[in-house]
Structure 1
């Protein structure tokens, strides 16, 4: 069995279709990383899902101006923008979400009792990196040839 690591088309030579498992993974990840950041970002304003200021490390709360809730409003705006970035430019948005999750993980690791949440967020970070990598091949405007650039 030959494995082709640098192919932008399935081994059959056809363009990716809905039946292509890697394309399915891209669509699924793009959908989740569009909806979830927007939903969680909007919830920073409503607090229906969680008491978000509790997720801000005390040392960060002292560092940023305003209250922890006001910081969460800013976080909410960033998360909504990250979700929109994934929807519009997944090659960039995936990396943006991964970097954002890295910051969230560092924050959570400094709060006692939140290490399990940090571990789950690490799984999301890895998935966001997978999205960014798949977007190189499957996002609109992605190159579909394998010829080197001149």
Structure 2
């Protein structure tokens, strides 16, 4: 009687690697592009409409300045995902939670909030996959 190895099949390891690379790519590129668009305004000319008034009140400057700050944070989050995907995935998930709160507070954007919730789950999946692969912050132990 032979003892089976606890190693995962190669197909599963390849699937994990592909899923990790897809998520890492999307969560690197998308935040950077969304962040850059806060300055060039190709995707929408009015990012400020998504900002809850109470959030605008606590962010320094006017709504346009707030969106510029948001853009810089989004670019930084994308770069963080590229280099430290476990930590970056958590940062992007937290950032998306803030966006969801803003969208629900503004009202009329529940469809976008729901889509962003799906992205939040994807960002968490990236972080978990990165932890399992030993990439980035707090590598898997054991």
**TM bracket, shorter-chain basis:** 0.7 to 0.9
Instruction: Report deviation, 1:64.
Output: 2.2
Work out which of the residue numbers 9, 15, 23 in structure 2 matches 1:11.
9
SS at structure 2 position matched to 1:110: helix
Instruction: Report deviation, 1:22.
Output: 1.3
Contact 2:52 2:106 in 1 (8 A): yes
Work out which of the residue numbers 124, 139, 143 in structure 1 matches 2:119.
124
RMSD of aligned residue pairs (Cα, Å): 2.0
Q: Distance in 1 between matches of 2:127 and 2:115?
A: 19
Instruction: Report deviation, 1:52.
Output: 0.6
Give the count of matched residue pairs: 133
Match of 1:23 in 2: 17
Contact 1:86 1:92 in 2 (8 A): yes
Match of 2:56 in 1: 61
1:74 aligns with 2:72: no
Gaps spanning 5+ residues in structure 1: where?
1-6
Moved over 3 A (4+): 139-143
Instruction: Report deviation, 1:41.
Output: 0.4
TM-score, L = length of structure 2: 0.86
